[in-house]
Structure 1
């Protein structure tokens, strides 16, 4: 069995911070800035009104994506902080097989 790693960041994807004062925190990707940076929010400390700009190398990616939030973000519709919190809880806070840390080689 061949395991593939996730290297592409998608809207609504669950990510875990690996660097900075928020290391270990779980976020959802709420914006794609360029090939190096994304915007993340958790609905509590980092709301949709002020998402955190995060280097992709400082994130551990998971295979989990909340499709409802991804659709809303793609369509330019507003997403409430409560929806982000609910999505993170739905996706669970456990590390899943298939995560990859782009910062370590």
Structure 2
């Protein structure tokens, strides 16, 4: 999985991120809303539910090129996404990361 390292990169809804700063550092989440060029709302479906997302500075996130299309389509169609879909998308992403580390 490629990491977007460009500081000018704009996050998009459904994009997978890794949290670099704060209490949740090292954990993965999904962008559910772009507030402005500096801030996004993220959720993971477990600790951070869709109804109570965390507002994070983009500088404190590591952006991956992977976009969870299930999440993106759900938010575009209904304006919401279930916490189950968030968990499913993150688990699927983590599996691909594990496979890449093993060299598969």
TM-score range, shorter chain: 0.7 to 0.9
Unaligned runs of 5+ in 2: none
Counterpart CA distance in 2 for 1:85 and 1:62 is 17
Deviation at 1:91, TM superposition (A): 1.3
Give the TM-score of the pair, scaled to structure 2: 0.80
Determine the structure 2 residue equivalent to 1:82.
84
- Runs of 4 or more, structure 1, over 4 Å off, are none
CA RMSD of aligned residues (A): 1.9
Is the contact made by 2:13 and 2:32 (CA closer than 8 Å) also made in structure 1?
yes
| 1:12 partnered with 2:14 | yes
> Hey, which of these two has a bigger chunk of helix by percent?
2
Give the TM-score of the pair, scaled to structure 1: 0.80
Count of aligned positions? 93
Determine the structure 1 residue equivalent to 2:66.
64
Determine the structure 2 residue equivalent to 1:45.
47
Is the contact made by 2:50 and 2:82 (CA closer than 8 Å) also made in structure 1?
yes
